[in-house]
Amino acid sequence: MKGFFDRLTDLLFDPASRKIGRALAGRSIWLLATGTDEDLPSGFQEPFARTAKYFGMIWREAIYCQSIKGLALTPEALTGAERLAKLIVA
Protein backbone atom coordinates (compact mmCIF):
# COMPACT_ATOMS: atom_id res chain seq x y z
CA MET A 1 0.00 0.00 0.00
CA LYS A 2 2.88 2.35 0.70
CA GLY A 3 3.94 2.22 -2.95
CA PHE A 4 0.41 3.16 -4.02
CA PHE A 5 0.34 6.25 -1.80
CA ASP A 6 3.90 7.20 -2.76
CA ARG A 7 2.94 7.23 -6.46
CA LEU A 8 -0.10 9.38 -5.67
CA THR A 9 1.99 11.97 -3.85
CA ASP A 10 4.40 11.98 -6.79
CA LEU A 11 1.51 13.54 -8.72
CA LEU A 12 1.87 16.67 -6.61
CA PHE A 13 5.61 16.86 -6.05
CA ASP A 14 6.94 15.80 -9.44
CA PRO A 15 6.81 18.95 -11.61
CA ALA A 16 6.02 16.93 -14.72
CA SER A 17 3.03 15.24 -13.03
CA ARG A 18 1.50 18.14 -11.06
CA LYS A 19 -1.13 18.89 -13.68
CA ILE A 20 -2.44 15.32 -13.38
CA GLY A 21 -2.47 15.44 -9.57
CA ARG A 22 -4.31 18.74 -9.45
CA ALA A 23 -6.89 17.44 -11.94
CA LEU A 24 -8.06 14.98 -9.26
CA ALA A 25 -9.51 17.82 -7.16
CA GLY A 26 -13.29 17.81 -7.08
CA ARG A 27 -13.57 14.24 -8.35
CA SER A 28 -15.39 11.57 -6.34
CA ILE A 29 -13.58 8.56 -4.95
CA TRP A 30 -14.78 5.26 -3.49
CA LEU A 31 -12.88 2.34 -2.05
CA LEU A 32 -13.76 -1.22 -3.00
CA ALA A 33 -11.87 -3.67 -0.80
CA THR A 34 -11.96 -7.45 -0.54
CA GLY A 35 -10.69 -9.76 2.13
CA THR A 36 -11.44 -12.77 4.26
CA ASP A 37 -12.49 -10.85 7.37
CA GLU A 38 -16.21 -10.58 8.01
CA ASP A 39 -16.01 -6.78 8.00
CA LEU A 40 -13.59 -4.16 6.74
CA PRO A 41 -10.79 -3.96 9.33
CA SER A 42 -11.05 -0.96 11.62
CA GLY A 43 -9.06 1.99 10.30
CA PHE A 44 -8.38 0.44 6.89
CA GLN A 45 -10.20 3.16 4.98
CA GLU A 46 -8.62 6.05 6.92
CA PRO A 47 -5.50 6.50 4.71
CA PHE A 48 -7.67 6.48 1.59
CA ALA A 49 -10.09 9.06 3.00
CA ARG A 50 -7.23 11.29 4.16
CA THR A 51 -5.46 11.03 0.82
CA ALA A 52 -8.69 11.99 -0.94
CA LYS A 53 -8.95 15.06 1.30
CA TYR A 54 -5.32 15.95 0.63
CA PHE A 55 -5.99 15.88 -3.12
CA GLY A 56 -9.21 17.89 -2.73
CA MET A 57 -11.28 14.91 -3.80
CA ILE A 58 -14.77 14.03 -2.59
CA TRP A 59 -14.58 10.93 -0.38
CA ARG A 60 -17.72 8.87 -0.88
CA GLU A 61 -17.42 5.61 1.03
CA ALA A 62 -15.72 2.26 1.38
CA ILE A 63 -17.49 -0.90 0.30
CA TYR A 64 -16.11 -4.18 1.55
CA CYS A 65 -16.65 -7.55 -0.11
CA GLN A 66 -15.84 -10.68 1.87
CA SER A 67 -14.35 -13.60 -0.03
CA ILE A 68 -13.76 -16.81 1.87
CA LYS A 69 -10.79 -19.04 0.96
CA GLY A 70 -10.79 -18.21 -2.71
CA LEU A 71 -14.48 -18.95 -3.15
CA ALA A 72 -16.83 -16.72 -5.10
CA LEU A 73 -17.96 -13.53 -3.39
CA THR A 74 -20.83 -13.88 -0.96
CA PRO A 75 -24.26 -12.62 -2.05
CA GLU A 76 -23.86 -9.71 0.38
CA ALA A 77 -20.51 -8.80 -1.15
CA LEU A 78 -21.95 -8.90 -4.66
CA THR A 79 -24.79 -6.64 -3.53
CA GLY A 80 -22.23 -4.15 -2.17
CA ALA A 81 -20.23 -4.22 -5.40
CA GLU A 82 -23.38 -3.68 -7.46
CA ARG A 83 -24.33 -0.75 -5.21
CA LEU A 84 -20.90 0.78 -5.75
CA ALA A 85 -21.19 0.38 -9.53
CA LYS A 86 -24.53 2.19 -9.49
CA LEU A 87 -23.07 5.03 -7.40
CA ILE A 88 -20.17 5.48 -9.80
CA VAL A 89 -22.40 5.56 -12.86
CA ALA A 90 -24.92 7.96 -11.28
- The closest of 61, 55, 59, 63 to 8, measured between CA atoms, is 55
Residue spans of the chain under pLDDT 50: none
Which pLDDT does position 34 carry in this prediction?
Answer: 84
- What does the alpha-carbon distance between residue 58 and residue 26 come to, in Å, rounded to a whole number? 6
Phi and psi torsions of 85, nearest 5°: -60, -40
Judge if pTM exceeds 0.75: no
Report the chain's mean pLDDT, rounded to a whole number: 84
Q: What is the reported pLDDT for 49? A: 95
Burial 56-71 (b: 16+ CB within 10 A, else e): ebebeebbbbbeeeee
